[in-house]
Structure 1
Amino acid sequence: MRLTIHGYSTALFATWYFIEELGLLLDAGDGLTSNLLGKTGKIKHVFISHADRDHLGGLLQYNQLFSHRRPHIYYPKDANSFRFLEDFTGRFDPHTSGTIWTPLEDEQMIDIKTNYRVQGFENKHIDVSGQLKSLSYKVIETKNKLKPEFAKLSSHDIVALKKEKGDGYINEQLQKNVLIYSADTPVFDYSKFDNCDVLIHEATFLKKDELEKGNDRNKHSSLEDVMEMVANISVGQLILGHFSSRYDSSEIDKSIKKLIAHYNIKIPVFRIPIGEVSRDILNGNPLN
């Protein structure tokens, strides 16, 4: 499936990504509804990574406009701010009672469409022992494929065998990571982001040493760390976002291109410009 992804992501101010084909919203920062306009009505499932306001500032307006469609809002189970939000919206906008607010466990799977699931997994942005307060998300496509030993059977024999033994006897289930969204997190475990068609990863800071200055209360990634990881895992396309507004776009692009050359990265690399909405990102021009 070709994915149509729209997004905005500037650190501290707002982050959101909308995948049209899946009716899927990842985070809900300010400007969500004003930029998507009518497309906002296509959102069916909202997955919020954590309770920082730049990732949920647009949630109340979205909910006020489209709660009649009974959207699902998912969040980390120990991020208690969402329980207050649910209570507040119920009082402030009583008509929003149709919205379904669901806390998520680590590694929990949610069906969003036939053959598509979203799995949240704990990251290290808000690292509190024994509490799940921040999540990254993985979109998984599941397909059934005929087992090799039955490949030479006629269609008539396959149908007969399926009736006799069941679908699970003749088919094997294959899973593919269509998309992985890091949300806010430091780079912490390459395997969590490996083997995906599209990786959306934050890169708040450009250099590793900026992470070591002690001013990052909730942990983030550097562009250098992200590109080093991407060079060592299997990713089809990369979208970089959540850059700090301390940088200008030319400085960010120069750093990305330098690291692309350093690691000999061949996959398409896209980035979300500071303070700008990117529409149909994967249909645009990559930096390389």
Structure 2
Amino acid sequence: MHLTIAAASTALFSTWVFVENFGLLFDAGDGISASLGQKGRKVRHVFVTHADRDHVCGLLQLHQLNARDGIPHIFYPKDSGSFPALKDFMEKFDPQSGPATWRGLAPGETVPLDKTHFIEARTSEHVTMGDLTKSLDYTLCAVRRSLRPELTGMNGAEIGALRKEHGEDAVTEPQIEKLVGYSGDAPQLRPERWSGVKILFHEATFLAPETARSSHSNLPDVIASAAQLDLEALVLLHFSARYKADEIVQAVRQHAAAAKVGFPVFVILPGQVYSDLLSTEPVWEPGCFLDREDCEERQEGLI
């Protein structure tokens, strides 16, 4: 399945990622309604990582334009008092809009999106306050059923008879497929947290470790850690607006080459809005040189 993903992210100003296939929105930064337009009506599930303004300020307009009959379902870290306060404010400030559904999530909770897909919430290290859950990260998962290993070699008629007599569980077993991981803001990429994920969205706010703050990631560490994973794609976002686009692109290529990254790397550049992110050209592809022209020549067999 090709995932149609719209997104925008500039650290401090606005971050949001919309997976259109599932009506699924991660974070709701400023400008999301203007960017999505009528597609905003497709947002059915909103999963907010934490209460920083660049991740939540788009909720007001999104709610005003699209809330109806309990939709969208808005999920947030259960111990963050900002969200109940925001819900109360919206009801008073904007009483004419229809009601959305608000629910706080604890780490380990899952939320079904349809019959075969669900979101898993986990504690994020971006905001830590003892045992309180103030920030979360999320994984989009799919449940697939596969033939039980002990039945390998059995013919179709035998499997059909077994299914008819004992039910589906007798012949197949569920397998969890991790389609998309979304870190929100995070101080570092921990490979063990994202093992098995196909597409990972991870922040890379700072281009150098010496400029990074403790609650945000830096690009060299993110690339080095991601290289340990078996991803189909890495999407980097939440870059600081202090960096120019070409500066970010060259830094990503440099560190991806050094780490010998074996999968495509996409970048959400500050100030840009992407309507179908995964259809754009990745900044890094396996086998490419640092220079894009060199990469293209190599692909054409000129080097």
TM-score by length of 2: 0.90
Q: What per-residue deviation string (whole Å, max 9, x for no partner) do you get for residues 90-122 of structure 1?
A: 122224453110100001110012211101111
**What's the CA shift for 1:151?**
4.1
Instruction: Give the distance between the partners of 1:90 and 1:163, measured in 2 at CA.
Output: 52
- Answer with 185-194 or 255-264: which moved more: 185-194
**Is residue 176 of structure 1 aligned with residue 177 of structure 2?**
yes
**Stretches of structure 2 lacking an aligned partner (at least 5 in a row):** 285-303
- Kindly tell me the number of residue pairs found equivalent between the two proteins: 283
Shift of 1:153: 3.9
Find the counterpart in structure 1 of residue 86 from structure 2: 85
- Take 2:42 and 2:115, find their aligned partners in 1: how far apart are those partners? 16
2:259 paired with 1:287 = no
Residue from 273, 277, 280 that aligns with 2:273: 277
- TM-score calculated relative to the size of structure 1: 0.94
- Report the secondary structure of 2:188's partner residue: coil
> Which residue pairs with 1:198 in the alignment?
199
Structure 2 match to 1:26: 26
Counterpart position of 1:249: 245
Match of 1:150 in 2: 151
Structural mapping, 1:43-58, within 5 Å: 43-58=43-58
Percent of pairs with identical residues: 38
Q: Find the counterpart in structure 1 of residue 61 from structure 2.
A: 61
| Partner amino acid, structure 1, of 2:42 | K
User: Match of 1:40?
Assistant: 40
What amino acid sits opposite 2:144 in the alignment? K
Determine the C-alpha separation between the residues in 2 that align with 1:78 and 1:68: 26
Q: Answer whether contact 1:90 1:97 (CA < 8 A) is retained.
A: no
Work out the CA distance in 2 between the residues paired with 1:99 and 1:237.
33
Q: Which of 203, 209, 234 is the aligned partner of 1:238? A: 234
1:154: Cα distance to partner?
4.5
Give the drift of 1:67.
Answer: 1.0
Q: CA deviation at 1:219?
A: 0.4
CA contact (8 A) 2:9 2:268 kept: yes
CA distance in 1, matches of 2:128, 2:259: 30
Provide the rounded CA distance (Å) in 1 between the counterparts of 2:267 and 2:30.
19
CA shift at 1:148, angstroms?
3.0
- Give the aligned CA root-mean-square deviation in angstroms: 1.4
Asked if the contact 1:235/1:267 (under 8 Å) is kept, the reply is yes
